[in-house]
Chain A
């Protein structure tokens, strides 16, 4: 439980730092001379990230103050069935993202080569990362 407390404390600091950083980024975008039609979208993205960071930080802070909440959160995050579900679903998700991106990239390549190559590049990078992590965990476990 001590390790989990450390994790929660780190999560709280990171969450609050991220929120602050995103608010500052929003202020910079708002006052930027390069403001264009996409600025609103960028600010919306930053606000979304800030909100997620803030919620995670608040959750961690509340768990750190209440023993029962901390235990409940620990069980929720370390439940072996939930971990197994996550492992299984992420494996399929990666495969489908990879295939979808490859097919979309190949189609887009005909019309917009730069975008098509970028998408194929992302697919290759995802495949390399997936293979590298499989190799790493194959050695580690």
Chain B
């Protein structure tokens, strides 16, 4: 799953730790989401989108995910 979190963070000049503190997860979780190793749950995806004032679709791109 593609994510725009690194770009959004850079635009807002915040670190992974700042974002992690803002949404209540560890810095490692943010790092894993950004590198695509971990897919955020729906509540966390919502919190992340809300943090940037965007929608989930604007932060995460699911178009490359396998469809059933």
Interface of A toward B, CB cutoff 8 Å = 74-76, 78-82, 84
Q: State A81–B41 Cα separation when bound (angstroms).
A: 9
Q: Which residues of B contact A79 (CB under 8 A)?
A: 25-26, 28-29
Q: State A69–B32 Cα separation when bound (angstroms).
A: 24
Q: What's the nearest-Cβ distance from chain A to residue B58, in Å? A: 21
Chain B contact residues (Cβ within 8 angstroms of A): what range?
10 to 19
A-B pairs with the 7 shortest C-beta distances? Answer: A81-B29, A79-B26, A79-B25, A81-B38, A80-B41, A75-B24, A79-B29
Q: Which residues of A contact B29 (CB under 8 A)?
A: 79-82
Interface of B toward A, CB cutoff 8 Å = 20-21, 24-26, 28-29, 32, 38, 40-41, 44
Q: Please classify the interface of chain A as helix (H, G, I), strand (E, B), loop, or mixed, using the class held by over half of its residues.
A: helix
Interface centre among B26, B28, B32, B40, by most A CB within 10 Å? Answer: B26
Could you list 22 A-B pairs, sorted by A, with CB under 8 Å?
Answer: A75-B20, A75-B21, A75-B24, A75-B25, A75-B26, A76-B26, A78-B24, A79-B25, A79-B28, A79-B29, A80-B25, A80-B29, A80-B40, A80-B44, A81-B26, A81-B28, A81-B29, A81-B32, A81-B38, A82-B26, A82-B29, A84-B38
Q: What's the nearest-Cβ distance from chain A to residue B44, in Å? A: 6
Query: Across the two chains, which residue of chain A brings its CB closest to B29?
Result: A81
Q: State A75–B21 Cα separation when bound (angstroms).
A: 9
Q: Which residues of A contact B24 (CB under 8 A)?
A: 74-75, 78
Q: State A98–B42 Cα separation when bound (angstroms).
A: 34
Q: State A79–B28 Cα separation when bound (angstroms).
A: 10
Using A80-B41, A81-B28, A82-B29 as known contacts, list a sample of 6 further A-B pairs with CB atoms less than 8 Å apart, ordered by residue number in A: A75-B20, A79-B29, A80-B40, A81-B25, A81-B32, A82-B26
